[in-house]
Chain A
């Protein structure tokens, strides 16, 4: 019953390729987030958006970019992938009210060779 969808689940690509990780949610949430997570590490916020045409960078510096043209869609793009980009990328969303929880997608496991 996932209401937030990420594609692809797994991606193996070569260095220098441009990739877009897709994220869509059907809950009508205004807030959407991209996190990066490596085993044994915390989830690092790399981008967030509080609504259409609003995007901000998170605490962790990232060479990726995001866009928010529609409420339900928050894709992340890497213009030129490098091995250091190998990680799990997690998309999440939350509602407008206080004390809202984050809903996560299944994640994209990216490997750059």
Chain B
């Protein structure tokens, strides 16, 4: 049973607009969440994280929001740029530091 879910396989956004990528989780014990960006045939790179004691974390154009009651988090990218086109994974570690990943959302930013 998947503990981290990304229900949108793909998203297309115009350059300069906001991209919103969503992620849901089922394990209420998760207290730390991460977003990774991945290009084809490369390894994922860390983008931004959030601890469950916060509901928002911002880093430049990237903001992650956490809604614990809904077990939902989202990544906002604004303004979106063509270089942001990639697959985005959300992830969460369990207490044993094993990380669970969603299936990813492929973002295409159209120039």
Given contacts A43-B101, A45-B98, A107-B41, contact A101 B46 (CB under 8 A): yes
Q: Is B89 a contact partner of A43 (Cβ separation < 8 A)?
A: yes
Residues of B within 8 A of A6 (CB): 43
Complex CA gap A88/B38 in Å reads 12
Task: Report how many residues on chain A are interfacial, defined by Cβ distance under 8 Å.
Answer: 30
Within 8 A of B (CB), among A20-66: 31, 33, 35, 40-43, 45, 48, 58-59
- Is A99 positioned at the interface, with any CB of B under 8 Å from its CB? yes
Query: Residue of B at shortest CB range from A50?
Result: B97
User: Known pairs A10-B41, A88-B41. 11 more at Cβ < 8 A?
Assistant: A40-B9, A42-B100, A42-B104, A43-B89, A45-B99, A99-B32, A101-B34, A102-B99, A104-B43, A106-B42, A107-B43
Residues of B within 8 A of A40 (CB): 9, 103-104
- Is B14 positioned at the interface, with any CB of A under 8 Å from its CB? no
Chain A, residues 47-89, CB within 8 Å of chain B (1/0): the string is 0100000000011000000000000000000000000000010
- Is B67 positioned at the interface, with any CB of A under 8 Å from its CB? no
Given contacts A99-B49, A101-B46, contact A42 B34 (CB under 8 A): no
Query: Residue of B at shortest CB range from A33?
Result: B99
Given contacts A94-B97, A102-B46, A107-B43, contact A42 B51 (CB under 8 A): no
